[in-house]
Amino acid sequence: MDRVLKGEEEESIPLPILRDDLEIVPTAAQPNGAPAWVIFDRVGNRYFEIGREFLDMLTLWRVGTVTKLVSKVRTEFGRTITEEDVKSAIHFMISNALVRDIPGNDFKAMVAKEEGAKKSALSRMMHSYLFFRIPLFRPDKFLQATWPFVSFLFTRFAVWIFALIGISGLYLVSRQWDQFTGTFQFMLSWQGAMLYGLSLVFVKSIHELGHAYMSVRYGLRVPTIGIAFMVLMPVLYTDTSGAWRLRSRRDRLMIDGAGIFTELTLAAIATFAWVFLPEGGLRLCVFAIATTSWITSLAVNLNPLMRFDGYYILSDTLGFQNMQQRGFDMARWRMRELLFGLGEPAPETLSVRLRRLIIVHAWATWIYRFFLFLGIAILVYAFFIKVVGIILFIVEILWFILMPLGREMKHWWEIRSQIMSAKRFIGVGIGLACAITLAVIPWSTRISIPAVMTAEKEQSIFAPFPAQIVALKVKDGDRVAAGDVLMNLTAPQLYLDIKLASEKRTLIETRIDRTGSDDKDRASLIVLTNELKEVTEQLDGLNRIKEKLVVRAPFDGVVADIDPELHAGLWINKKTPLAILQVGDGPSIKGYVGEANVFRFETGADALFIPDNPEMPMVYTRVKDVAQASSERLDEPYLALPYGGSIPIEEAKREELRPLEATYAVAMSTQSGSGVQLPQMAVRGVSVISGEPQSFYTRVKRQVLKVFVREMGV
């Protein structure tokens, strides 16, 4: 007859029959020093860690029923367990298929329950998209056969040799650092990208062989090596679950770190080889292998926040298996305690130091995974067809970000009576209400835009061509009139060209004068006349250029920003700004506002210009004009991102300074009585404009809708 395992008293519940092929072996001690064992499932090649209490139950499992097992454990081992403990053990054994499916056992209802709890087809499909494995081959025979030939690489002597090679390689590369880093320019090409891709496959293959051979070194079996897909991103993997059998935590760590050690060894050899190889394809190959190995080993594999080698190294160092899931449970418990002070016991008993470390690791993992999966979602959207990309983006956000939040909120709802009766509930509620109020109420009237302050009219003064300064006639702050001399220049090459042109003109004029007596010259009169015309025009042009050696003021104004290095005798080129000539009673301020805020203020709105230089005073201004259409290009290069500003521009139109997003020009003038002097150079800063109030919620909503409408092509 069938009975469902519930919490009620049932004295005759039979125990399911354990599978005959299960093996229980001792393993490394638990963090508190207590001994531990693992149940080895040969068929599924799985390991399950258990403690003394569970082992005692399995030792006496053949007594037949729950009641007898409780009594027998008390009699044989002097340990008190409850029927609920036994039922939990039965649930664990059944859910992991560790019992024999024999008709008539009393756990059929629980099996049915487990079947009902399986994931739906949609859930399985989503999980398969997010993560699935494909075993490629069974390497155990190959590893056993080749181990004698590579075993010397896993000795202490070999480690010292490779360390010496690595240190020597890094030192020698440092002597050629510019040449080494310069190779990255080639790697930015499509050939370099292909070479990096092949290097990554090779390095990761060697990485997995490192794990596999280290497992063989400790007498373990390696059932499979394959490829796993994490959000369609391929990652090689080696099944080293046999490490659970090892009783030494140090041996486990050696297997965990074998892949990283192997990559670093490969990086050391490749770095050393790069120094001595001649220029060519082979040197590029070892460069790609070296940089790939260093980067992936130190930046990726050692990361403890994802389930890579660093995670397992930390887990085995602490002796804390299944650290991520247990850590998440501990972190959620700690978060509830901090928020509400429910006084619930921790999910498991740990030392204070270990518990803090596990909680911090879990919180850091949450933050890291939030940004990682958000980035993956954006990449998925970018590389797929637009409609498919949007669907996969939504799946990413739902599965990795919103669903965990939803599960936690569901748990809060289930314990709402405890939460509402907690002492901190009122304080948390007030804080949440304040946060929502601040987000919803339109209290922010400040609109910050990038801006630059210049004179109302100004012009940079340049030399007409490369020349030498003869005399500097002005200094900063001098007021000049149009046509006044600013400086005198000289250009020996120009004077030489003028002299040669004059002599050539004289020679041609002489030949023309004697055409009456010379038949040959008479025949070439037309040619000589044309040459004379060309030389005369050339000479006139050189003389006009000569006049520009006297640099004059193009209009009335004030001289500013003269280069302090300028002096008589200094050679300058035509690209070097010599000074700035400014005119106007006050400065002019120009900025650019984004599309989201352009309708929040009008002409006449008050504004405050805050220079980037904190030593300069703030300037009270007023909006003079707002462009009706977005700017196709920036008139002020100081505000473009490549030149130190904050407005991103299109890379393809970098020379034209085309903004990446719609921006509207805003002209501002100083308020009367501000007494601001003309700036001697362009001053970059931020203008804070008073506009219509807007809430944080409204800003976020508009931005989301803007992106949605733009991407959907509505």
Cβ atoms of residues 211 and 258 within 8 Å: yes
Nearest residue to 330 via CA among 367, 369, 363, 306: 363
**Residue 104 above 60 pLDDT?**
no
Query: Which pLDDT score, from 0 to 100, does residue 584 have?
Result: 61
Confidence of residue 164 (pLDDT cuts 50, 70, 90): very high
Cβ atoms of residues 268 and 163 within 8 Å: yes
Average pLDDT estimate for 646-665: 78
Burial of 104 by CB count in 10 Å (0-12 exposed, 13-18 middle, 19+ buried)?
Answer: exposed
Query: Which pLDDT score, from 0 to 100, does residue 360 have?
Result: 93
**Residue 108 above 60 pLDDT?**
no
List the chain domain ranges. 23-118, 125-318, 333-424, 457-572, 584-692
Nearest residue to 99 via CA among 61, 68, 47, 72: 61
* pTM of the predicted structure, to 2 decimals: 0.61
Cβ atoms of residues 97 and 44 within 8 Å: yes
692 phi/psi in degrees, rounded to 5: -65, 140
Query: Which pLDDT score, from 0 to 100, does residue 710 have?
Result: 62
Query: Which pLDDT score, from 0 to 100, does residue 708 have?
Result: 67
Confidence of residue 272 (pLDDT cuts 50, 70, 90): very high
Long-range contacts, stretch 545-549, CB < 8 angstroms, 24+ apart: 545/464, 545/465, 545/494, 546/494, 546/495, 546/498, 548/464, 549/464, 549/467, 549/488, 549/489, 549/490, 549/491, 549/494
**Residue 107 above 60 pLDDT?**
no
| Dihedral (Cα; 659, 664, 669, 671), 10-degree rounding | -120
pLDDT in tens, 430-465: 888 888 887 777 777 788 889 988 776 667 777 777
**Residue 476 above 50 pLDDT?**
yes
Query: Which pLDDT score, from 0 to 100, does residue 178 have?
Result: 82
**Residue 8 above 70 pLDDT?**
no
Distance CA 439, CA 67 (A): 58
* Angle between helix 249-276 and 281-295 (nearest 10): 150
Query: Which pLDDT score, from 0 to 100, does residue 4 have?
Result: 40
Q: How many CB atoms lie within 10 A of CB 678?
A: 21
The mean-pLDDT minimum among 104-118, 125-139, 320-334, 662-676 falls in 104-118
Report which residue type is found at 35.
Answer: P
Average pLDDT estimate for 627-650: 82
pLDDT in tens, 390-420: 676 777 677 777 888 888 888 888 888 888 8
Average pLDDT estimate for 56-84: 83
Confidence of residue 357 (pLDDT cuts 50, 70, 90): very high
Query: Which pLDDT score, from 0 to 100, does residue 130 have?
Result: 57
Write out the H or E segment, with its range, that includes residue 362: helix 352-383
Average pLDDT estimate for 119-130: 54
Mean pLDDT taken over the chain? 79
Confidence of residue 361 (pLDDT cuts 50, 70, 90): very high
Question: Domain 584-692 carries which CATH code?
Answer: 2.40.30
More confident: 501 or 122: 501
Report which residue type is found at 464.
Answer: P
Average pLDDT estimate for 687-706: 78
The mean-pLDDT minimum among 122-136, 321-335, 583-597 falls in 122-136
Residues 6+ apart with CB under 8 A from 639: 450, 451, 452, 591, 592, 645, 646, 647, 684
Write out the H or E segment, with its range, that includes residue 485: strand 485-490
**Residue 106 above 60 pLDDT?**
no
Distance CA 87, CA 106 (A): 12
Q: What percent of the chain has pLDDT over 90?
A: 4
Q: In which order are the strands placed within the sheet that holds 571-572?
A: 550-552, 485-490, 467-472, 571-572
Average pLDDT estimate for 660-665: 85
More confident: 689 or 476: 689
Average pLDDT estimate for 84-113: 66
Average pLDDT estimate for 351-370: 88
DSSP for 86-110 reads HHHHHHHHHHTT-B---TT-TTHHH
Average pLDDT estimate for 669-682: 66
Burial 281-302 (b: 16+ CB within 10 A, else e): eebbbbbbbbbbbbebbeeebb
Average pLDDT estimate for 268-274: 91
Give 428's DSSP letter.
H
Residues 6+ apart with CB under 8 A from 594: 449, 661, 662, 663, 664
**Residue 162 above 50 pLDDT?**
yes
**Residue 678 above 70 pLDDT?**
no
Residues 6+ apart with CB under 8 A from 582: 455, 456, 457, 458, 557, 558, 560, 678, 680
Burial 110-131 (b: 16+ CB within 10 A, else e): bbeeeeeeeeeeeeeeeeebbe
Distance CA 150, CA 326 (A): 38
Query: Which pLDDT score, from 0 to 100, does residue 399 have?
Result: 73
Average pLDDT estimate for 601-619: 86
Burial 521-540 (b: 16+ CB within 10 A, else e): beeeeeebeebbeebeebbe
Secondary structure (H, E, C), 398-416? HHHHHHHHHHHHHHHHHCH
Cβ atoms of residues 639 and 571 within 8 Å: no
More confident: 674 or 537: 537
Q: Tell me how far CA of residue 326 lies from CA of 6, 86, 333, 362, in angstroms.
A: 25, 22, 11, 9
Distance CA 647, CA 54 (A): 64
Query: Which pLDDT score, from 0 to 100, does residue 10 have?
Result: 44
Report which residue type is found at 701.
Answer: K
Give 296's DSSP letter.
I
Distance CA 423, CA 342 (A): 8
Q: Tell me how far CA of residue 327 lies from CA of 32, 122, 363, in angstroms.
A: 16, 28, 9
Query: Which pLDDT score, from 0 to 100, does residue 5 have?
Result: 42
Nearest residue to 335 via CA among 420, 438, 397, 428: 428
**Residue 204 above 80 pLDDT?**
yes
Q: Tell me how far CA of residue 535 lies from CA of 181, 183, 417, 528, 529, in angstroms.
A: 53, 52, 102, 10, 10
Query: Which pLDDT score, from 0 to 100, does residue 606 have?
Result: 87
Residues 6+ apart with CB under 8 A from 312: 256
Report which residue type is found at 416.
Answer: R
Query: Which pLDDT score, from 0 to 100, does residue 157 have?
Result: 92
| Dihedral (Cα; 501, 507, 509, 513), 10-degree rounding | 180
Query: Which pLDDT score, from 0 to 100, does residue 127 have?
Result: 53
- Show the CA angle centred on residue 523, arms to residues 518 and 528, nearest 5°: 95
Write out the H or E segment, with its range, that includes residue 585: strand 577-594
Cβ atoms of residues 485 and 547 within 8 Å: no
Confidence of residue 110 (pLDDT cuts 50, 70, 90): very low
Average pLDDT estimate for 535-540: 83
Q: Tell me how far CA of residue 284 lies from CA of 270, 274, 296, in angstroms.
A: 10, 8, 18
Question: What is the token pair recorded at 630?
Answer: 């977005």
Q: How many CB atoms lie within 10 A of CB 265?
A: 22
Average pLDDT estimate for 649-678: 74
